[in-house]
Amino acid sequence: MKTEIKFPIAKKIAKELSIHNDKRIDNYYWLNDRENPEVIDYLNAENNYTKAVMQHTEAFQKTLFEEMKSRIKEDDTTVPYKFNGYWYITRFEIGKDYPIYLRKKETLNAPEEILFDCNDMAKNYSYFNLGSISISADNKLAAFSIDVVSRRQYTIQVKNLETGEILTDKILNTTGSITWANDNKTLFYTVKDDVTLRSHKIFKHTLHTDTNNDVEVYHEKNETFDTFIYKTKSKKYLVIGSSSKLSSEYRILKADTPNAKFKIFQKRKQNLEYSIDHYNDSFYIISNIDKAINFKVSITHELTTQTKYWKNLIPHRNNVLIEDIEIFKDYLVVNERENGLNKLRIMSWDKKEDYYLPFQSETYTAYIGNNPDFESNELRYGFNSLTTPTSVIDYNFKTKQSKVKKEQEVLGGDFNKENYESVRIWAIARDGTKIPISLVYKKGIKLNGNNPLLQYAYGSYGHTIDPSFSTIRLSLLDRGFIFAISHVRGGEYLGRNWYENGKLLKKMNTFTDFIDCSKHLIENQYTSNKQLYAYGGSAGGLLIGTVINMNPELYNGVIATVPFVDVVTTMLDDTIPLTTGEYDEWGNPNNYKYYQYMKSYSPYDNIESKQYPNMLVITGLHDSQVQYWEPAKWVAKLRDLKTDTNKLLLLTNMDSGHGGASGRFEKLKEVALEYAFLLDLEGIHG
């Protein structure tokens, strides 16, 4: 006789939350304390329950893990790129989880010099991440940053590349990004607020001095802004940036004079967003000045940086979003997006050439790669699609020839891209807007309503989910799943307006778009509500939480990873990391209008006594982006109110944060669990 597995029941301690004469009772507020042993006990009990419920799939999870791992080329190397006299390469070795960073002087035939072997560095940690590496101008020193907790608070150290010695200089609680001045002894870094983790101060450190004496260069006091620092590609300027969701501001300083004062490039103005790059004696600016909602490119002399001096280089266009530029001595490359599709535009400075690289698909991703050298006659870019593995390509401006430097190898022997099909279709939202959906599936599938389908979306911050290739996803496609990306409003897939119409008081469009895409997929017989599954992470987890409150009957199962589901309470707590900087995205609930609107969709606040789909919820104890207690509280409340007997599983990774496990193979184990959850619901176990 099979023993029934009992799920944990979190105790209730009523906490009254009151604002705007509105009272909310939160019975699980007590879970907001990772130092409380009872909280840890509850999370462990949920983990044990998940393990017990999924125990019958453990052998299948192992099969999936080995299958996904077998497609990955374990002894892999990146395409080398040259910077300041050295070729830089990242290598992975068989059986090892972490990268090895190395370089070769002048030629690829030179002896290799190992900069960092992350496998050795990670040995004593359950979580490890090398945040960044920054090489000094004389090539003798490497500043690097590591996080061993997964809270994105990095410690900066410096390595002498001639002796291998790690210097005693140690800087705590940074973003992990490091910028050298040109004197080879001064470095700049960004510090986080101890409580909110907001990037709020820039400091200057001189090597071999006490870090307690580091000089504060800039303090961003506006709590809705973050600050950062970088060096221009020209190596001439250090740049301090400050940005919120709606405006930006930069300060510049010649990198040869690190002890001088930074000067403001252009003072912040509400709703003025801009970014800057430098070449020769000019700055190149991408901005939304003069109502250029999709951005335009301007140029100005380095001595006259205010907006009144900016001259149009590429004008604003209503149907083309400018995402990025790359400057070369003879050419400007512009990364544009039109009708949802990436386009790489090549423009010669002498104005004799202006054309686009040709891409033949509606479900592809193209992007500018690593191009550190102004003098190069080649553009390095990347390309992949839902059916085509990633290629790194060098395009020669002079010969107009492309050379594939590397195509991602899919091992295992049975992959053929011709076996898969990808299409883009359009659903009609309830307000008449056409919503694009990118689909991929194995050829030969009959669209008769009997296919399992996994629908994915994100839909926030203007972040676009491009249709890209995944070797991991093949484990679903080969078992009959269709995979769909719904390009809902809130991203920038169809331009800046697409984002503006999915944020603040128009946020509901993100959720209803997803639901209307689900209905379209069902009505057009790609799947049925008995075989439709939804997946989202972080703000995409908010999307999942909201749509299953609104239309739970559409989905047989959902997966929500690190989901942002307790929107109102989190946005009212300005001590939580990210909160104040998010007001321009979600609204400030201290304002009644935003409070009321936010409360209308917040997943945690809208749980009802009704049936919900099967659910797998995953979080990390040390998550700094979405605190673990949001999904923990959500699951506890769902357990109390839902009326069905469907699965509801919570898995908390006790060693990780927002990005999950740190090793490349450890991550696959998490995916194997997610896929086993979906496939088990379909009765597929092999």
- 71 by DSSP, 3-state: which? coil
Report the number of secondary-structure helices (H) and strands (E) in the chain.
12, 37
* Cβ count within 10 A of residue 582: 22
Contacts for 42 with CB less than 8 Å, ≥ 6 apart: 8, 10, 31, 632
Give the DSSP letter of residue 467: -
Between strands 532-537 and 453-456, the pairing is parallel
623 carries an active-site annotation: yes
* Beta-bridge partners for 423: 439
Find, among 508, 521, 426, the residue nearest to 459 by Cα: 508
Length of the chain: 686
Q: Identify the H or E element spanning 117.
A: strand 112-117
Distance, CA of 460 to CA of 492 (rounded, Å): 9
Catalytic residue among 422, 538, 624, 662: 538
Catalytic residue among 169, 623, 655, 680: 623
8 A C-beta contact, residue 273 and residue 296? no
* CA dist 176 → 2, 192, 218, 378, 448 (Å): 51, 10, 17, 30, 51
8 A C-beta contact, residue 612 and residue 553? no
658 carries an active-site annotation: yes
Distance, CA of 315 to CA of 44 (rounded, Å): 56
Indicate if the alpha-carbon torsion angle 453, 458, 462, 464 is positive or negative.
Answer: negative
Q: Which residue has the tokens 């961003």?
A: 220
8 A C-beta contact, residue 642 and residue 579? no
Catalytic residue among 278, 520, 622, 658: 658
- 152 by DSSP, 3-state: which? coil
Indicate if the alpha-carbon torsion angle 255, 198, 583, 458 is positive or negative.
Answer: positive
Contacts for 84 with CB less than 8 Å, ≥ 6 apart: 135, 137, 139
538 carries an active-site annotation: yes
Distance, CA of 646 to CA of 636 (rounded, Å): 15
Distance, CA of 90 to CA of 103 (rounded, Å): 8
What does the buried/exposed string (b/e) look like for 123-156 if buried means 16 or more CB atoms within 10 Å of the residue's CB?
eeebbbbbbeebbbbebebbbbbbbbbbbbbbbb
Between strands 482-486 and 453-456, the pairing is parallel
Give the distance from CA 642 to its chain's centroid: 32
Find, among 320, 323, 326, the residue nearest to 369 by Cα: 326
The beta strands (E) that lie in 244-330 are given as 248-254, 263-266, 274-279, 282-287, 296-301, 311-314, 320-327
Between strands 237-243 and 226-231, the pairing is antiparallel
What amino acid positions are annotated as catalytic residues?
538, 623, 658
